[in-house]
Chains A and B, each alone.
Chain A
Amino acid sequence: MTLLKELSEARGVSGREDEIRSILFRHIREHIDEHRVDALGNLIAVRKARVPAGAPVPRKVMLAAHMDEVGLMITEITKSGLLRFQPTGGIDPRLLLAKKVLIGDNKVPGVIGVKPIHKLKAEELEQVPKYEQLTIDIGVTTQSAAEALTHVGDYATFDTAYEELGPFAKGKAFDDRAGCAVLVELLKHDYPFDLHAVFTVQEEVGLRGARVAAYSVEPDCAIALEGTIADDLPKKKDVSPTSRLGGGPVLTVMDRTFIAHAGMLRHTIAVAEKHGIPYQFKQPGIGGTDAGAIHLTREGIPSLTIAVPCRYIHSPVALLYIKDFEHTITLVRETLRTLTLDIIRPEA
């Protein structure tokens, strides 16, 4: 899990993924035959076919995991040296109060300010804070002192150390560094087709990297690898947890951005059952992934999303069950090894 730790602690908000890209490249370079970085910053790595195919197989398969994480962007430096900001990607503002952040390339430490409980009026406790009301305190008292350390346009990330709690891993940005780590592991294995591993940018702001990457790669089919919502704490009502820790890899049937390719989904389920790998279906209708952009590229690309369930995503700290992570690697690897052209061929 050292790779997940390194990726989780690294910083890469949408639009500024270079640190993540360098780490990933260092880890994959000896396992790939070609690579390129496109204009938006996607890292596209190719591992050529290394084993013979038993049956007709696709020529090119694309796997996508996004490098970017949600974060904040500094929008204004006030006269008193406090920093105003807006979110990059979806963050519940209730999570922000009194959180530690790191700002810009120099990792300037700061804390998001909050009024002490002694001074809160009863109605304020009921209210959700607005971004406009929040500021980051970097321990300076003047605008010029703040400007010496930070700039408008700097990104801020949560300052969260990775830690393992028994069989669980705790850290920030598992959405989607968990997917990135899965993809790195998958690149160490052999497949009967060219595997195009794409570490995408700007997923959290609208699947932007994946859209152009799929256009240039032109794969025969694709799988998006994700860290997805687990909302599995006990509830009063017997309703969907979206996914749950310990339930194994999460398969999407339908989310807000796509409907999974029926053949690929059937195949993945059959592989899971054959190998005794646990799996679960994500609550339909929730969220979206790079597959939403990929599957509509050019004349259409049969696509699937397979995810590691994670609690508390899009917050300063997420929790995953390490066995789910490992099962996800195994399930995707075995799904790929047995992926034939028949599975993605259009139905009559």
Chain B
Amino acid sequence: MKELVKRLTEAYGPSGFEAQVRAIIAAEVKGLADEVRTDGIGNLFVLKKGRDSSHRALVAAHMDEIGVMVTHIDKDGFARFTRIGGVRPLGLPGARVVFANGLVGSIGLEKLEDRTKVPDLDKMFIDVGAKDKDTCPVKVGDAATFWQPFAAQHGRWIAKAFDDRIGCAVLIETLRALPKPAYDTYFVFTAQEEVGVRGATVAAFGVEPDYAIAVDVTPTGDTPESHPIAAGIGKGPAIKVMDRGMIVHQGLKDWMIRTAEEAGIRYQLEVLEFGSTDAMAMQTTREGVPAGVLSIPTRHVHSPSEMVDEGDVQDSVKLLAALLSRPVSLE
């Protein structure tokens, strides 16, 4: 699994430009699924038939990651940029970014008038080493992501884009581990989550599931002077209760907890004061869908170097497989 996670996290896939990630996943799930298709926005649907085809389950992990997009090339060939999703300015100066074709740029900073304030993106630029505007190899509208290698040490993994490639990896490994799910189960690898859960919005409309679970990362409160959050890494997968975008279906959440307890998988409960996931969109599609979230606790979310615990990831696969194997109870 580590090798797959390395490939997925190092792949290029800012929101709207998920093709390279989609290709990796499509190759991995080949032979594990009864049907594979994509849609207009770029979602990848992987159907695994269940014992009972009268019901449908949907599990989703998003392929896209945050990134930057070029807005202007100045006369000297420096590229101004905007954010794709929740990119924070603090980690940017000095970071390297990579474009779809492999071209690498360094993020530079203007001379600051006031060094006590965090500069916004309009004080920064991407330097791809161009000599001038005409020969600059990038153009307005080109998207880039952080350029960062995957690292693994003593059971902890560091990489960019665990949000949400780790969710993608959990879905793929669950597909491998799961003999036959209870229901026809759509493993949906969604597009454009980071810019407003857009892929999940249209995917859920199309699948019309009886219940849905998003698998995504959740930030933790286990680092120095962090925002107080109960969840931490190395303490098992988190079952979401609420975030800014949704309140998880009570019955579904209780069923997830019961399933974890019966399967002997450790878990944590998650209440998040900010952010949301694909489950927010899936919950309000059509006439409403019971939706929940299985979260992988992740440190330094939306930075170029996020961190997860290998055991949490393994247990997330076990929990998702246990959930999908049994009939849902929404009581």
Contact = CB atoms under 8 A, between A and B. Distances in A.
B41, B75, B83 — most chain A CB neighbours (10 Å):
B41
A238 B140 contact: no
Nearest to B38: A346
A293 to B, nearest CB: 11
Interface in A237-291: 238-240, 253-254, 258-259, 261-262, 281, 283-286
A112 interface: no
Contacts, number: 87
A149 B302 CA distance: 56
A298 B122 contact: no
Which 3 residue pairs across A and B have the least CB separation, nearest first? Answer: A259-B16, A300-B202, A285-B82
B201 interface: yes
A240 B40 contact: no
Contacts of B26: 348
Given A240-B72, A346-B37, 16 more contacts: A238-B72, A238-B75, A253-B140, A253-B141, A254-B16, A259-B192, A284-B82, A285-B69, A295-B198, A297-B202, A299-B39, A299-B206, A300-B43, A300-B205, A300-B206, A301-B40
B132 to A, nearest CB: 12
Contacts of B74: 238-239
B205 A299 contact: yes
Contacts of A344: 40
A261 B70 contact: no
B19 interface: yes
A240 B71 CA distance: 7
A343 to B, nearest CB: 11
Contacts of B82: 283-286
A296 interface: yes
A347 interface: yes
Contact of B202 (A261, A283, A296, A348): A296
Nearest to B286: A298
Interface in B58-116: 69-72, 74-75, 80, 82-84
Contacts of A347: 19, 22, 38, 42
Contact of A298 (B22, B71, B205): B205
A302 interface: yes
23 contacts: A221-B40, A239-B74, A240-B71, A253-B140, A253-B141, A254-B141, A258-B198, A259-B16, A281-B141, A283-B71, A284-B70, A286-B82, A296-B201, A296-B202, A297-B202, A300-B39, A300-B40, A300-B43, A302-B41, A346-B37, A346-B40, A347-B22, A348-B38
A284 B141 contact: yes
B15 interface: yes
A129 to B, nearest CB: 26
B69 A253 contact: yes
Nearest to B192: A259
A222 to B, nearest CB: 11
A285 B71 contact: yes
Interface of A: 221, 238-240, 253-254, 258-259, 261-262, 281, 283-286, 295-302, 344, 346-348
A191 to B, nearest CB: 20
Contacts of B22: 347
Contacts of B195: 254, 259
Interface in B121-153: 122, 139-141, 143
Interface in B193-212: 195, 198, 201-203, 205-206
A36 to B, nearest CB: 24
Task: Report which residue of A221, A238, A261, A301 has the largest number of chain B beta carbons within 10 angstroms of its beta carbon.
Answer: A238
A281 B69 CA distance: 12
Report, as a range, how many residues of chain B touch the other chain: 35 or more
B38 A240 contact: no
A236 B26 CA distance: 49
A285 B54 CA distance: 43
B40 A284 contact: no
A346 B17 CA distance: 13
A300 B41 contact: yes
A240 B125 CA distance: 12
Nearest to A264: B40
Contact of B140 (A259, A283, A297, A299): A283
A7 B103 CA distance: 47
A105 to B, nearest CB: 38
B69 A239 contact: no
Interface in B14-49: 15-17, 19, 22, 26, 37-43
A22 to B, nearest CB: 35
Given A281-B141, A346-B42, A347-B38, A296 B72 contact: no
Contacts of B40: 221, 261, 299-302, 344, 346
A238 B122 CA distance: 11
Contacts of A239: 71-72, 74, 80, 122
Contacts of A299: 39-40, 202-203, 205-206
A330 B22 CA distance: 35
A273 B14 CA distance: 27
Identify the interface centre among B16, B43, B75: most chain A CB within 10 Å of its CB: B16
B191 to A, nearest CB: 9
Nearest to B70: A284
A277 B310 CA distance: 54
Question: Which among B39, B71, B83, B143 has the highest number of chain A CB atoms within 10 Å?
Answer: B71
A295 B140 contact: no
B84 A254 contact: yes
A221 B37 CA distance: 19
A283 B83 contact: no
Given A239-B74, A240-B140, A284 B205 contact: no
B196 to A, nearest CB: 8
Nearest to A261: B40
A283 B72 contact: yes
Contacts of B70: 284
B179 to A, nearest CB: 28
Contacts of B43: 300
A295 B69 contact: no
B310 to A, nearest CB: 32
Nearest to A251: B141
Contacts of A259: 15-16, 192, 195
